[in-house]
Amino acid sequence: MSSGVTPAAPERRGATLIFNAGAGGSEHCTPDDLVAALEGIGFTPVYRSTSCEDDLDAALADVRGAVFVAGGDGTVRAVAVRLAGREGVTLGVIPMGTANNVARMLGVQGAPLDVIAGYAGAGARPFDLGRVTAPWGEDLFLEACGCGAFADVMAEYDPEGGKSPLRAVQALTATLTEFNPLPVELCLDGVELPEVPLALLEVMNTNATGPRLRLATNADPGDGQLDVVRIDAGAREGLLAYLAALARDEFTDLNSVQVDRVRVVEIPYVGQAFHVDAEVRPAVQGASGRVRIEVWAGALSVLVPVAGA
């Protein structure tokens, strides 16, 4: 027998949608498609078109609630660094890029509309960031920051010049042919290590960076620590060994690879090139100082979709 009481409609939640129309796969999905999908799981989203940095600043200035960002790692990073440390804001990633390292770290994969369906009833988890203080200024990163071979390849390649497999191969060949590892005296959580020439030095927050290079197999961006991955140049193996290990996701199992999990890393700066996620901080001749990298534990709150939704 009916009680005569009409059930209350489910409470709808406010949300903001940031969409990068230039991301890989975006041609198969429009902002209207994403808005409709978010409405279907109980959100009332506001779509904000962001074609430049100023647009993004304005869109996120006073944002509250869930912020869904549809795009690749670059778009996710641009949004995340603006939301870092804010209370009452949760980030939801809708991967539409090429590598999608951050999304994969969170177990977020699939077609955009399928991903959104998984956000129905999703839970939130903390996501750390890396905070960099260096002679060139201050930076934040989601994935990794480092110097050595990978940073030099990125500097030669110049990500700002657009994606090009041919330029990538040329940059890799040119860099590794002339690469001369610098002696580095690391300080990990206040402990000074002996100076050794390092072929690779990456401070990882996620397990992968760049074109899905899984350099830190066991990294966890919610553990309040960073994984310092390094290769002593004197013990380095052949390039094919590293490529094969990356393909098997066994990079950190190589004898020449050492990993330490720490909260603070200090690196002497002698003007070498660094990368901060996919951005390059170019080499500066004659410069000196120190680069301090520390974890910002729980800087973000991120949504994790329900598997199989």
| pLDDT above 90: residue 268 | yes
SS3 state of residue 126: strand
pLDDT for 243: 81
Domain boundaries, the chain: 13-121, 130-298
Bridge partners of 66?
15, 90
pTM over 0.85: yes
Q: Are 204 and 229 in contact (CB under 8 A)?
A: yes
Task: Please report the DSSP string for 46-98 in residue order.
Answer: EEEE-SSHHHHHHHHTT--EEEEEEE-HHHHHHHHHHHTT-TTEEEEEEE-SS
Task: Please report the DSSP string for 194-255 in residue order.
Answer: PPEEEEEEEEESSS-BTTTB---TT--TTSS-EEEEEEEGGG---HHHHHHHHHTT-GGGST
CATH of domain 130-298: 2.60.200.40
H helix count then E strand count, the chain? 8, 17
pLDDT for 179: 74
Where residue 166 falls (left for φ over 0; alpha for ψ -120 to 50; beta otherwise) is alpha
Domain 13-121 identical in fold to domain 130-298:
no
Average pLDDT across the chain, whole number: 87
| pLDDT above 50: residue 6 | no
The percent of residues above 90 in pLDDT, for the chain, comes to: 60
Q: Which fold has domain 13-121?
A: Rossmann fold (3.40.50)
